[in-house]
Amino acid sequence: MRGQKLAALVFIGIFVLFFILTERSQSLSIYLSKKQTSWFSHKENQTDQRGKKQRVLPLAAQENTDINPTSPDEKDYWAAVIGGDDYDSTENICATRDNGYAIIGFSWSNSLANPWNFWVIKLNRSGQVEWQRSYGNEVSESDEKKRMTTSQYGYTVRWGGKAIVSTDDGGYLLGGPLYFGPDDAELWLVKLDSKRKIKWQYTLGGHDYEWFHWMEQTSDGGFIVAGLTQSFGEGGTDLWLIKLKALGEVEWQKAYQTSGNLSLVEVHQTEDGGFIGVGNIYSPEYEFKSDFLVMKFSASGEVQWAWRYGGDLEERARSIIQTSDGGYLVAGSSRSFGAGSQDIWLLKLNAQGQVEWQRCYGGEKDDSASVVRAGISGGYVVVGETYSFGSGGQDIITFKLNKNGLIEWQKAYGGNEDEAVYSLVVSENDGYVLSGETYSYGRGKNDAFVLKMSPTGEIPYLPELITSTDLKLTPTNISPGKLNVDSWSTNAAPLPYPGVANDVQVDSYLLFNAPRNFQGQRVLNRSLSQKEYIDVLRWAPHPSNLNLPVTKYKVYRIETDPLRFKENVYYTIRKNLIAEVESNILEAWIRKVDPEEEVRYAVVAVNEAGQEGVQAFTTVK
């Protein structure tokens, strides 16, 4: 009997020990606070199945205790995220009279939830939102949202506001498309006074489809507007330019046509009072074939010259500036030339449009330019997107060139998913302000993203947001092709439109820091029942985040999936949440990993509003 009891006690003891050991490995992860200890964290040496000894990493929280927090009012440069649970994005940014910034775009997250409306945001110099307003209709049918993106000669069409200009009276002029139906859209202009109230508004269009591309103020206080028209041409879709007086009256309007389809995405006034436009010419007989288009106009809209530039594949021009020598610098992308599948392509032209120098800038994957502007202290600054460099997905790239096109500095900005940039403001001796969108940060599907960086591209309090790049320069050798362009006057009459203004509220915050010293190590967990590999992830809180407060941390596994499109390979980034811990817990143990697999992880701090900061990354193998 005693032997049976002893055997039973031994059996129960083994069972309890087995239960305790196995319970420490949960279905997803094991979380330990930095004050806890465990059998595992004290075993500094583990042996894997290949006989190699492994040292478990010390707690990262014990390092870098000498870092001083940065208070928000000390941040001259910043990253702002604006958006809710749905799609939100910016299209254009302008500097304001009070040294702040005004942004226009679209929002599906505001209380009106109308994707056609103009969404206008006013930021102060420090990136804080001062006010937001929606201009347009109060009611929108939810099923109309699916029409936000349609094809327009190879471009993705995005509804909402497209342009904002700060006017001398302290107000703004807003511009964009107004959607009436699948085959009916017009140009819509809205003038605001200094109190953000609508002073006047009207539409320009005809019986068919018109589209808005660009608007900026001219030296006489008026405005130049560029778009497309199907109502006033000789069939098909034609380029459309409209010159407005200061009070909005039409001074002149003209349509332009050649053998291919023309589109201008930027138009600037030149030193001689005329205009320079950049865009693309599309060849309908060739799928996905387009070239750079540069057109010079007189002050009255007459074509002075027009050239096309390109190779055998697809080129997309996005931006142009007049240079100090009277010539021009054109920025866009090329699939015909360069180091990767698509490279940034820059052309330096003389005053007559002839090429002075040309080269591609890129890496192994897709890279493109969005905007080029005169740089601080001379040269040029180019912003765009890159798949070749950055933290993952598509990141924003910024680089500074000297007058000969050689790189002075270059950087990428972003998280593990996609970022894009659409507009740039240069503040002399103060820095560069970019506006676009982010899928890596914020609460929604995508959020508006605004970055203010130093004259050398730094955001000092957010070093984890920035990664180094290594653009390869590739000379190209093309000659321009002359275009004969027909033009004629059009007679679109401004028609009043009863759009309304409403205050809206969409969440916003300044992006905060990534956890520090994010490290990982793969170790072997030996228990009575199994042998498995565990990735032990550890990090330290960033001192700058102590006043947020941070309420929790999230850990993601980052995976890259190839996506083929014709001859090109793109990559989609999947961010899978695998652990979520309270703010006093600075570890995550990820079970059942393949010992031969290389895994990339991201950890991010989350504030009490559920907003995420910059991600920190580590790779475990």
- pLDDT, one tens digit per residue, over 232-287 is 977 788 999 999 999 999 999 999 999 889 999 999 999 999 999 999 999 876 66
Find residue 574's DSSP bridge partners.
559
Reply yes or no on whether the pLDDT at 448 is more than 50.
yes
348 with 327: CB under 8 angstroms? Answer: yes
**Token pair belonging to 339:** 């180091």
Fold that domain 87-257 belongs to in CATH? Methylamine Dehydrogenase; Chain H (2.130.10)
Q: pLDDT tens for residues 318-352?
A: 999 999 999 999 999 999 999 889 999 999 999 99
Peptide bond into 455 cis (omega under 30): no
Q: Read off the pLDDT of each residue in 143-149 and give the average, rounded to a whole number.
A: 45
Cα separations (Å) of 615 from 108, 388, 518, 556, 601? 26, 19, 10, 10, 10
Q: State the pLDDT at residue 471.
A: 97
Residue 252, Ramachandran bin (φ over 0: left; ψ between -120 and 50: alpha; else beta): beta
Q: Read off the pLDDT of each residue in 458-463 and give the average, rounded to a whole number.
A: 92
Q: Could you identify the residue written with the tokens 């003038």?
A: 191
CA distance 197 to 174: 12
Which of the residue ranges 41-45, 91-95, 202-206 would you say has the lowest mean pLDDT?
41-45
Fold that domain 26-67+514-620 belongs to in CATH? Immunoglobulin-like (2.60.40)
Q: Read off the pLDDT of each residue in 404-414 and give the average, rounded to a whole number.
A: 97
Nearest to 216, CA basis, from 166, 274, 279 = 166
Cβ within 8 Å of residue 262, ≥6 positions away? 238, 239, 256, 279, 280, 281, 293, 485
Domain positions in the chain are 26-67+514-620, 87-257
Q: Read off the pLDDT of each residue in 495-523 and give the average, rounded to a whole number.
A: 92
pLDDT averaged over every residue in the chain: 84
At residue 406's C-alpha, the angle toward residues 404 and 407, to 5°, is: 140
- Reported confidence tier of residue 26, pLDDT bands at 50, 70, 90: very low
- Reported confidence tier of residue 65, pLDDT bands at 50, 70, 90: very low
Within 10 angstroms of residue 251's Cβ, the number of other Cβ atoms is 16
Burial of 406 (0-12, 13-18, 19+ CB in 10 A): exposed
pTM of the shown model: 0.82
Distance of CA 519 to the CA centre of its chain: 28
Reply yes or no on whether the pLDDT at 612 is more than 80.
yes
Query: Is pLDDT larger for residue 518 or for residue 430?
Result: 518
- Phi then psi for 108, rounded to 5 degrees? -100, -5
390 with 367: CB under 8 angstroms? Answer: no
